[in-house]
Amino acid sequence: MQKESLRRYLEHGNDAGMREELRKWLLDHDSEEIRTAAQSGDFVEEVLQAFWQESLQNVAPAEMTEKRYRALTDRIFGQKRKRFAPNRILRWVAQSAAVLLLVVCVYGYAVRQIPPQPEWVEVYAPHGQTREITLPDGSRIWLNAGTYLFYPERFDRERRLFVSGEIYLDVKKDPERPFRVDTKNVDIRVLGTRFNLRSYNGDKYVEASLLEGSISLALKKDGDGTRFLMKPGDRLLVDNATSEIVHERFDHTHYASWRDGYHAFRHMTLGEIARDLERIFDVQIVIRDASLLDETYFATFASGWELDELLDALNIHHTLRIRRDGSIIEIERARR
């Protein structure tokens, strides 16, 4: 299926013709190719890439984005993919009744031995909310507001997640089953650790902060296959536009997370901070002066701060004019 068709479906999810086109492709596509793609992970990853690229921008109300997201995942992960091509098997064994009997017996045994493909679980933390879940292996994940997460209902040889947003992970050690986290631009592998990962669409950076254990991070875009090994106290910021990597050290023994109510804005523009505050407090922030969007802030706020207090602190030098009407906030440059 052409990505252009998938893009049109995401943009016009209520169009019956588009839904039928996607449904027909999923049902009629060559089963061998779907099976190969499903086993390699490319099938899922390609569709998720298209979804991240086109559907998670802030161009539609959150409820519409979630509706399209659920419609898409229902169609992708709800399909039962065939493992065998019975017609080919029958043609091959038609030469001999004895061979037919043998293969049927072996086929029946194999079918009983192969576990069914796991269903995919989808989790979304809406704006203004956070969520905590426990994975099938006992690992725990906290989702920040506006975060999407996919994972299989059971883990087999590999534990793999797909994330768009921000998560804090406490991964259970299991040397026999590597743990992998995929975002749009980076791939992270780990055996057991605690770390924070931020990868919102529209942010300048992907940010990974390691508290315990070790993880390796590789770039998907413009990468050369090099993996960056991180140790506790390492923070990597990957520029989504240039793939440039910034390495920082932080005090991991006194690390304060958003899941504990702390808010940290490092290397973040006012435009990015506004999107963060929209997710955290479920408000709409309009920046009237475009020149303010790229101004960078470095600030950390302790637990319990309200939105108005955060805005006042960001405006400590009185360079901003902030007006609030309920859940609508307007920001422009202060006139002198």
Q: Which domains are delineated in the chain? A: 132-259 (2.60.120.1440), 261-333 (3.55.50.30)
H or E element at residue 248: strand 245-249
pLDDT of residue 36: 53
Tens-place pLDDT, residues 174-224: 988 999 999 988 999 997 899 999 999 888 889 999 999 999 999 987 777
What average pLDDT does the segment 72-89 reach? 42
Confidence at 246, pLDDT banded by 50, 70, 90: very high
Q: What's the one-letter identity of residue 209?
A: S
Tens-place pLDDT, residues 27-51: 555 445 544 554 554 555 555 555 5
pLDDT of residue 201: 85
What average pLDDT does the segment 271-300 reach? 90
Separation of alpha carbons 209 and 207, rounded Å:
7
Task: Specify the pTM.
Answer: 0.65
What average pLDDT does the segment 111-121 reach? 65
Confidence at 317, pLDDT banded by 50, 70, 90: confident
What average pLDDT does the segment 94-117 reach? 46
Confidence at 266, pLDDT banded by 50, 70, 90: confident
> How crowded is residue 197: how many other Cβ atoms within 10 Å of its Cβ?
23
Sheet strands (E) in the chain:
120-125, 131-134, 140-143, 147-152, 159-170, 179-182, 186-199, 205-219, 227-230, 234-239, 245-249, 263-269, 284-287, 296-301, 320-325, 328-333
> How crowded is residue 324: how many other Cβ atoms within 10 Å of its Cβ?
14
Q: What percent of the chain has pLDDT over 90?
A: 39
Q: Is the pLDDT of residue 150 over 60?
A: yes
Tens-place pLDDT, residues 117-136: 678 888 999 999 999 999 99
